[in-house]
Amino acid sequence: MAKNRCMPIDGGFVMGVAIDPRGVEPRGADETTERADDHASHLEQALLQARKLIESTVLLHSRRRTTPSPVVRTDGARLGDSLAQLIGGARYSVAVTLTGAGAFENAVIEELDRTPGRAVVRVLCNVPAAEGVAERLRPLTRVRPEVRVSQSELRGIVVVDGASALVQTQVQEPEGQVAVVNDLGAVRALELLFAGAWSRGRKLADHLGLAPRLRTEFARTVLEALRAGHTDETAARAINVSLRTYRRHVAEIMRELDASSRFQAGARAVELGLLAD
């Protein structure tokens, strides 16, 4: 079967489709905002449907043991072989999500350095894994992946050329156990899921460049209070600090974010990936 090349469009992937931006008439700010909100809503629904399709496909084919299946489970002992076959055959793209420092992540990063030079490699990680991923990717010599940090809920996946994939299974199962997916519909759903999270992710360098104090749990709590519009007195009581201490932290956070108002600080926090949108 011919493999479809994934074209990068605004930070995401579109399967073999070119988008022509010409001929679009200018719209008013209200209409543009409304259309953007509708688009975001539709994308969110598409991602939810994609996730349900992936999970139902894995469940369905895991029950079929008598016939060849487009979804094949393999244990940790064969994880390296599965990754070598998948990533080693990449022609156009390798999309990876990493969520920690377990057997899956270690095996994927080791194999990434054997990616054929012609393939574009994109790595998406969650916030807790960001610094560790940066350290482990630094020694790679054959590939320099693009890396972004996502606030979205992620599961370990590898998608190659939009045609085949490997998915980390449920956390309650043995570490390193995965499902190899060759069903084209399920793979495209995984690719859509990755593209949505990638488009909303923040570049790793930008994330690591944020002041360390902005990445603490306390700072996120203050930012949530600012975004919610709580009064200083209410927020200070909820966080269990004095009013003076709370206001001092607010002033420091606003200065770090270059925000002129508390609402703007909350909005900037979402934009920078410090808070989920």
Distance CA 158, CA 166 (A): 5
State which amino acid sits at residue 4.
N
How far are the Cα atoms of 39, 242, 275 from residue 42, in angstroms, in the given order? 5, 43, 21
Average pLDDT score over the chain: 76
The pLDDT tens digits of the residues spanning 131-167 come to: 889 889 988 888 889 999 887 778 889 999 999 999 9
Residue 255 has pLDDT above 50, yes or no: yes
pLDDT, tens digit (0-9, with 9 covering 90-100), for 159-169: 999 999 999 87
pLDDT at 155: 85
Q: For residue 67, what pLDDT is reported?
A: 42
206 band by pLDDT with thresholds 50, 70 and 90 = confident
pLDDT 10s digits, 39-77: 556 656 666 666 666 666 555 555 444 444 555 565 556
Integer Cα distance of 48 and 52 in angstroms: 6
Residue 117: the pLDDT is 82
**Domain architecture of the chain: domains with CATH:** 34-205 (3.30.870.10), 210-271 (1.10.10.10)
Quick one: how many helices (H) and strands (E) in the chain? Answer: 10, 10
Q: Is the pLDDT of residue 93 over 60?
A: yes
pLDDT 10s digits, 72-87: 565 556 788 889 999 9
Task: Report pLDDT digits (tens) over 6-36.
Answer: 444 444 443 444 444 444 444 554 555 555 5
Q: Return the number of other C-beta atoms located less than 10 Å from residue 213's C-beta.
A: 12
> Across the beta sheet with 120-126, what order do the strands follow?
71-74, 178-181, 164-168, 157-160, 93-98, 120-126, 146-150, 202-203
Query: What pLDDT is stored for residue 15 in this prediction?
Result: 40
Q: What is the pLDDT of residue 227?
A: 83
Whether residue 267 has pLDDT greater than 60 = yes
Task: Answer with the residue of higher pLDDT: 50 or 198.
Answer: 198
What are the helix (H) ranges across 149-231? 184-200, 204-209, 217-228
